[in-house]
Amino acid sequence: MIQVENLTLSFNEKPILEEINLTINQGDFLAIIGPNGGGKSTLIRCLLGFLQPQRGKITLWGEPISTFKHWYKIGYLPQRAGKELLSLNPITLKEFVLLPSKWYKKPVDTSHLKFLIETFGLEELISKKISHLSFGQLQRAYLVRALLLKPEILILDEPSVGLDFVSQEAFYQILSDFHKRGLTIILITHETWLLTREINKVACLNHRLYYHGEHEEFCVLAEKGITDLPYHRVEHLHW
């Protein structure tokens, strides 16, 4: 679905991504882990076409990113998503979650919308102004928005930051359910305890991609303490 070859990007001549090679296949539930500033969000922003790398190639469903037009196939929950709302007009939650249908001129499947609203427990809030929602409610609204057009890939940049433990549990359970139904998921996370869940692939990024492989193999390597993760010792991963 996504192929990244030799991706290299610098900001002000400071290398942020160096020679990244990565393939995302259908059915992957990939966790991208790594230290603050390691380039995780930058990589995602390249995959979404927001940033252009200085070197390398990105292919989406076999098509070069420069000519790719089917962006509705990718749902995206940005990091600290709530911030964006400060500059938004006072629209309702319903108007907010329907935005992708306007952006991509795609009809909404109303039964799918109903399913998403119920799944994320937003029925009571549907007419509420988006600016009046709590952070956790906003996160769920972003998820509905990201899933509205039935994307094939969902990309989440630290989605559970700020959610209480019970909400996190519920949130990841829902993600697992979507994955079981065929959704491919890319998740940037610092919550390494999550790696015992539905996640089946792991990528460790600190400017370079230090590991990309099966989750099970990663756990074995990590337990033996022989994974060469330069940003911290494996013992410090609390899963």
Ligand X SMILES: Nc1ncnc2c1ncn2[C@@H]1O[C@H](COP(=O)(O)OP(=O)(O)OP(=O)(O)O)[C@@H](O)[C@H]1O
Note the residues at the interface with ligand X (CB under 6 A): 11, 16, 34, 36-42
Contact assessment for residue 158 and residue 143, using Cβ atoms and an 8 Å cutoff:
no
Nearer Cβ to ligand X, position 96 or 206?
A: 206
Contact assessment for residue 231 and residue 192, using Cβ atoms and an 8 Å cutoff:
no
CA 46 from centre of chain: 13
Nearest distance from C-beta of residue 90 to ligand X, angstroms:
29
Nearest distance from C-beta of residue 222 to ligand X, angstroms:
19
Nearer Cβ to ligand X, position 74 or 93?
A: 74
Nearest distance from C-beta of residue 8 to ligand X, angstroms:
13
Question: Residue 153 phi/psi, 5° resolution?
Answer: -125, 140
Q: Which long-range contacts (CB under 8 A, 24 or more apart) does 13-22 make?
A: 15/207, 16/42, 16/207, 17/42, 17/43, 17/46, 17/53, 17/207, 18/207, 18/208, 19/56, 19/208, 20/56, 20/205, 20/208, 20/209, 21/209, 22/203, 22/209, 22/212
Query: d(Cα 72, Cα 234) in Å, to the nearest integer?
Result: 37
What are residue 14's DSSP bridge partners?
Answer: 11
Nearer Cβ to ligand X, position 74 or 133?
A: 74
Total residues found in the chain within this entry: 239
Nearer Cβ to ligand X, position 113 or 229?
A: 229
Nearest distance from C-beta of residue 119 to ligand X, angstroms:
27
Nearest distance from C-beta of residue 99 to ligand X, angstroms:
24
Nearest one of 137, 237, 139 to 191, comparing CA atoms: 237
Nearer Cβ to ligand X, position 42 or 160?
A: 42
Nearest distance from C-beta of residue 155 to ligand X, angstroms:
13
Query: d(Cα 192, Cα 9) in Å, to the nearest integer?
Result: 26
Nearer Cβ to ligand X, position 41 or 184?
A: 41
